[in-house]
Amino acid sequence: MSYIPPHKRHTKGSPSLEPTPAPESLIPAFRKNLNFKRKEKFLFETRYADGAVRKWFPVGLTDDSHFSSLVKLQPLSIDQKSDANPLRLVLMQGCSGGTNELMDEPWRLGANSMMEDLLLSFQHVKCEMEKSNMEELKLNLVARFGRILFHGISAKSQESLKSNLLSETTLRQMKKTFYTNVPLSYMEYIRNLAVEKLALECVEEKELYYVKLSDNMHADSIVTCKCTVVKDQEKIQLHKIELNQIRNMVADMSCFGKSLDLRLMLHTKKIMMGSSDDEINEIKNLIGSAVLDSEVKGGLRWPFGEDSSGSQYAVTGVWHTTAKSYGNSSNLAHNCKIIWKFVN
């Protein structure tokens, strides 16, 4: 007979050391229904309109038939939560801006390629506004500089990498993100270049804080508060409330021979209207309790327990920008509402 340690010996009829599971009926219903992951995912997910255009394509090569032999995926080390480093599409060693394989201004080709999709997306938004009578809908066309990152190498992609047969089809099947951590000096260079080329004049400069709120009364709603700084009080005040950003067109372009890639995006935001005085006051009180602090992410913090307004709103994100608005002198003279905004 095998030896049984004393702490594992049981006499017949003795109670088991393992606790009896609680009956299903005794488990509080709220514990069974908790699902924080779904709510967190919803707050940070990107929304697209029905029929939205989403594209990625490379630009910069004079002959696309040489694509596979001239490019490769290269790991890029960035500060992120995931352990796996993302990849960036780069030229093979030996290719440079002085070779005949590259265009001088690849973004021109990219912009021309998206013109038809852009006009079609504009038309869709216009029709939607006319049908819904949504005068409070705000339309924005955005150009962003950054790096297109590729994630999740599949077995098929691994084989393509090993055999140096990296095709556009393989790259389109991979998950991609747009990394926008761009040096301030580069953005200043782009702004100065645009001001000179387009003969723009600065019409406004604003320091803005954006506060993203969850709305417990409307689970499908994300509230974004645009706030300005009250200098003499070292506080922020509410300027405008916007609802869910909806993307109508996103075109990502990997620009060969350049240090950064380009994204063209058309999106809409709905201005929050028709809210009750209680709701507006609740949001204003929440914004008013924020403390300016350059040492924390986003530049704002809230005293303990004051990052929510009781039952409805709670802070889920903060970011800080400096926005300069420009207009062309001839357009401004004719009251043309084409405003160029450069955001750092």
Q: Is residue 290 in a domain?
A: yes
Residues 6 or more apart in contact with residue 229 via CB below 8 angstroms: 207, 209, 235, 236, 237, 292
Give the per-residue pLDDT at 288: 92
Q: Is residue 94 in a domain?
A: yes
DSSP 3-state of 246: strand
DSSP 3-state of 255: strand
pTM for this structure?
0.74
Q: Is residue 78 in a domain?
A: yes
User: Total structural domains in the chain?
Assistant: 1
Q: Is residue 260 in a domain?
A: yes
Q: Which residues of 2-33 are buried (b: 16+ CB within 10 A; e: fewer)?
A: eeeeeeeeeeeeeeeeeeeeeeeeeeeeeeee
> Rounded to whole angstroms, how far apart are CA atoms 269 and 37?
26
Nearest by Cα to 146 from 53, 244, 264, 242: 264
> In DSSP terms, which residues pair with 266 in a beta bridge?
141, 249
10-residue stretch averages of pLDDT, the chain, 344 residues long:
56 51 44 41 69 90 75 77 74 64 76 88 86 73 91 62 71 90 85 85 88 87 90 87 90 89 90 81 92 91 87 90 79 58 74
Q: Is residue 236 in a domain?
A: yes
> Rounded to whole angstroms, how far apart are CA atoms 309 and 283?
7
Q: Which residues of 193-229 are buried (b: 16+ CB within 10 A; e: fewer)?
A: eebeeeebeeeeeeebbbbbbbbeeeeeebbbbbbeb
Give the per-residue pLDDT at 34: 38
Mean pLDDT taken over the chain: 78
pLDDT digits (tens, 9 = 90+) for 4-42: 655 555 555 555 455 455 444 444 443 333 343 444 444
Domain, as residue range, for 277: 49-343
Give the per-residue pLDDT at 29: 41
Q: Is residue 331 in a domain?
A: yes
Q: Is residue 210 in a domain?
A: yes
Q: Is residue 198 in a domain?
A: yes
Nearest by Cα to 269 from 248, 239, 246, 249: 246
